[in-house]
Amino acid sequence: MGTHLSLTVNGRAVSADIDPRTLLAQLLREHLRLTGTHVGCDTGQCGACTVHLNGRAVKSCNLLALQAQGASVTTIEGIGEPARLHPMQEAFREHHGLQCGFCTPGMVMNALELVRRHPNPSEDTVRAELEGNLCRCTGYHNIVKAIVAGAAAMKR
């Protein structure tokens, strides 16, 4: 029927036969039911669909699933659990860095990428690096605080 695809998602081997038009975001949400990755804009502007592909943050609504052939993908479901949050997730909670929660998974995934490149980010660096992630609820004030605090916590 479709094209065969094999990859690793959150450390688990996954394979599927898919319509070649399938986007990576659709593969995650519809085939694997990993609905924590959200689609907000279809044009790579909002960043709600951000996941890690071989350790780098990418917008999964702008990639074909086939581009992840053989790759390792990490989604928000692979970062932490409600009872055991990742330090970055904990920082978002502590600093009220989320309201409706729709942009949040993408924010966290991009925040982790940001810390990888800037282990001690200033607020200005965080604001600049959030260029690709839109939030309509928080005015970013608390997201910026959360990421600075999360970066510090990740060193502990």
Rounded distance between C-alpha atoms, residue 112 and residue 5, angstroms: 27
Residues 22-81, interacting with other proteins (CB under 8 A): 29-30, 33-43, 45-46, 48, 75-77, 79-81
- The whole-angstrom separation of Cα 5 and Cα 69 is 6
Using the minimum distance from each CB to other proteins, give the nearer residue, 70 or 125. 125
Under rule CB under 8 A, residue 20 binds other proteins = no
The β-bridge relationship of strands 50-53 and 3-9 is: unpaired
Query: In degrees rounded to 5, what are phi and psi of residue 67?
Result: -70, -15
For the CB of residue 74, give the shortest distance to other proteins in the complex, in Å.
11
Euclidean distance between CA atoms 68 and 65, whole angstroms: 5
Write out the residues near other proteins by the rule CB under 8 A: 19, 21, 29-30, 33-43, 45-46, 48, 75-77, 79-83, 85, 89, 92-94, 96, 98-105, 108, 123, 126-128, 130-131, 133-144
